[in-house]
């Protein structure tokens, strides 16, 4: 397979396994099949709020900055990521609070894990360009495994595809990919262990 073909596949996988798409899919899974409180409003509301705060809201400033020519779509320059992380963290916190008050316990814990993972990525980003792609896949997969059990462990094989894609695109070093994955797995596990 030639380099151009590899890059096309890697780009496709980077879009398919992006934090935004993964958030949407995991929200759909948890909202439709996850354990919900009898006191909670219908799950569709939690899903729609999640789509806004975990998928749409974080992309708005990126797309705005991209349109102005300030960043590329992947925000490759790590110095440009700080304010974007801060805006996303704010959205994750708002969603967590909404889920808490609406009695969407599982979605509350899920969004709380996003808040803590993103906050960690923000601080690590001052030192290295940690992979938000691998964090955005590994964290939600950890949540799914915690909720649904070890039957979901094979989903972690998707990380290998994402590692390959991000390396082919020269977006990250292997260490940065591992840092994103391990950070998200550990923090998500701890949040679910203590709060779920």
- pTM (predicted TM-score): 0.95
105 located within any domain: yes
82 located within any domain: yes
Judged against a pLDDT cut of 70, whether residue 114 lies above it is answered with yes
pLDDT at residue number 49: 97
CA distance 186 to 166: 21
Report the half-sphere exposure of 30 (CA within 13 A, side-chain side): 30
189 located within any domain: yes
148 located within any domain: yes
Report the half-sphere exposure of 194 (CA within 13 A, side-chain side): 8
pLDDT confidence bin for 37, thresholds 50/70/90: low
The mean of the pLDDT values for the chain is 95
Taking only the tens place, the pLDDT of each residue in 88-107 is: 999 999 999 999 999 999 99
pLDDT at residue number 41: 86
34 located within any domain: no
As for how many domains the chain has, the answer is 1
Average pLDDT score over residue span 36-56: 88
Q: Apex CA 109: angle with CA 172 and CA 79, to 5°?
A: 30
Please state, in angstroms and as integers, the Cα–Cα distance from residue 28 to each residue in 5, 19, 184, following that order.
Answer: 32, 14, 20
190 located within any domain: yes
| Residue 68 Cα to chain centre, angstroms | 25
35 located within any domain: no
Asked if 139 and 192 touch (Cβ cutoff 8 Å), the reply is no
53 located within any domain: yes
| Residue 135 Cα to chain centre, angstroms | 6
| 8-state DSSP, 53 | I
pLDDT confidence bin for 33, thresholds 50/70/90: confident
Q: Which helix (H) or strand (E) holds 120?
A: helix 105-124
pLDDT confidence bin for 34, thresholds 50/70/90: low
Which is nearest to 108 in space by CA: 132, 143, 138, 142?
Answer: 143
Taking only the tens place, the pLDDT of each residue in 146-183 is: 999 999 999 999 999 999 999 999 999 999 999 999 99
Range of the domain at 129: 3-29+41-195
pLDDT at residue number 98: 97
């Amino acid at each position: 397979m030639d380099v151009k073909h590899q890059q096309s596949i890697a780009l496709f996988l980077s879009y398919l396994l992006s934090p935004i798409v993964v958030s949407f899919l995991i929200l759909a899974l948890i909202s439709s099949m996850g354990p919900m409180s009898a006191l909670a409003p219908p799950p569709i509301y939690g899903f729609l709020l999640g789509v806004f705060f975990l998928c749409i809201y974080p992309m708005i400033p990126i797309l705005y900055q991209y349109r102005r020519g300030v960043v590329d779509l992947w925000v490759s320059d790590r110095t440009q990521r700080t304010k974007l992380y801060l805006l996303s963290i704010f959205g994750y916190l708002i969603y967590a609070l909404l889920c808490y008050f609406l009695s969407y316990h599982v979605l509350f814990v899920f969004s709380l894990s996003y808040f803590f993972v993103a906050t960690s990525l923000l601080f690590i980003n001052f030192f290295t360009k940690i992979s938000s792609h691998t964090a955005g896949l590994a964290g939600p997969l950890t949540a799914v495994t915690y909720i649904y059990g070890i039957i979901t462990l094979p989903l972690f094989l998707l990380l290998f595809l994402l590692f390959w894609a991000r390396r082919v695109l020269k977006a990250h070093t292997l260490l940065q990919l591992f840092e994103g994955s391990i950070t998200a797995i550990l923090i998500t596990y701890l949040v679910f262990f203590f709060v779920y």
